[in-house]
A and B are shown apart, each in its own frame.
Chain A
Amino acid sequence: MNALSILSNLLGKKRKIVSIGFCGRVNAGKTTLANRIAKDLSGKIVGEVSPIPHETRETNKVEHVKLKFDGKTLDMTLVDLPGITTKIDYRKFMEDHGLTKEESIQRAKEATRGVVEAIKMLDEIDIALMVLDCTKPPFDQIDLVIVGNLEAKQIPIIICANKIDLPEADPKLVEETFNGSHAVIPISALTGENIDFLYKNIVIAT
């Protein structure tokens, strides 16, 4: 480390890479949002999306995604976490999505490892984008557990009330639920609606 970088560190001017974690329940739209931001800012894709639960079964990252907002440039690592759940029943993949037994068991095995990895990764992120499907009530136990953990670790949380493009979306209920505790951003990861407001809040959180 040369004298200039030591001085820069001491003055707090060293540009930090910020890890942005996409957290939440299964099929809340975490990967869709991560892809939206990654593609918007770097032209890259974080991961595949699917209507079948547990499509993201391992942590995916895109590094050096640069967010320029209000004269600031943020160097971000986007960390797309597998969805967290308390149960994974391979029979649901067969019944609801037509997978074979072998495919279902394989998917379930990988998903269980993904949940464990996602819980470990909660320690590794600097800012959490807590992605909620606002077509569903925001009182799910998993949401409470994840947010409670992030709060205990003092990690800044931005609640993304996702899927506002759907007619049954109720972002107001999400806002009322987390009223005053965390920033709540109504958003559509699919269409990109309100994405600039999310970028502004990410910059504020840093």
Chain B
Amino acid sequence: MSKLDLISKDASEKLDLETKFTMIIDKVKNGTILVLEGGLSPEEQTTLISRVMMQINFEEPPFPGLELISFFKESSNSSFWKRSKKKLIFTVVAPSSAVEILRQDSEMLSLLLKDAYSQA
């Protein structure tokens, strides 16, 4: 069974970056799927990826990393990429292999929740 935490934009913005990254990694290590309202910027995501890489664990139970999926506000422009320059609505952060994207477009993000590789 998977646990899902929705974090409001207000709650997320109150956290400094260090606290935010620590909170995200701790929750994901415990098997929680997070939905962050307002999302993580590309710069925040690369910083998070660097932190995650430094915490990847090869002992039992292993921590192989996480999944990052962002959802953007619909735009009238037909280009997917131009849409990403519009408003970032939310970012999903999940344990590695715990989610699979079934559909991702301007109208819907559909995810299949799966049993992740055994983690904490």
Name A residues whose Cβ lies closer than 8 Å to a Cβ of B.
84-91, 105, 108-109, 112-113, 115-116, 119-120, 122, 139, 141-142, 144-149, 151-152, 176-182
Q: In the assembled complex, which residues on chain B have CB atoms less than 8 Å from the CB atom of A149?
A: 42-43, 46
Taken together as a complex, chains A and B put the C-alpha atoms of A25 and B53 apart, in Å, by: 15
Q: In the assembled complex, which residues on chain B have CB atoms less than 8 Å from the CB atom of A109?
A: 58
Taken together as a complex, chains A and B put the C-alpha atoms of A37 and B69 apart, in Å, by: 33
B72-90 vs A: 1/0 string, CB under 8 Å? Answer: 0000001111101100000
B43/A87 in contact, CB under 8 A: no
A89/B81 in contact, CB under 8 A: no
B54/A112 in contact, CB under 8 A: yes
Taken together as a complex, chains A and B put the C-alpha atoms of A105 and B58 apart, in Å, by: 7
Taken together as a complex, chains A and B put the C-alpha atoms of A142 and B48 apart, in Å, by: 12
Taken together as a complex, chains A and B put the C-alpha atoms of A68 and B52 apart, in Å, by: 42
Q: In the assembled complex, which residues on chain A have CB atoms less than 8 Å from the CB atom of B81?
A: 147, 177-179, 181-182
A180/B79 in contact, CB under 8 A: yes
Partner of A144, one of B58, B66, B84, B96: B84
Taken together as a complex, chains A and B put the C-alpha atoms of A196 and B101 apart, in Å, by: 37
Decide if B56 is an interface residue (CB 8 Å cutoff): yes
Partner of A141, one of B54, B69, B97: B69
A34 CB to closest chain B CB (Å) equals: 21
Classify chain B's interface size. 20 to 34
**8 tightest CB-CB pairs across the interface, nearest first?**
A148-B42, A87-B65, A89-B64, A87-B96, A179-B79, A112-B53, A149-B42, A178-B81
A11 CB to closest chain B CB (Å) equals: 36
A115 CB to closest chain B CB (Å) equals: 5
A141/B70 in contact, CB under 8 A: yes
A86/B49 in contact, CB under 8 A: yes
Partner of A89, one of B42, B46, B62, B104: B62
Taken together as a complex, chains A and B put the C-alpha atoms of A115 and B66 apart, in Å, by: 14
A116/B54 in contact, CB under 8 A: yes
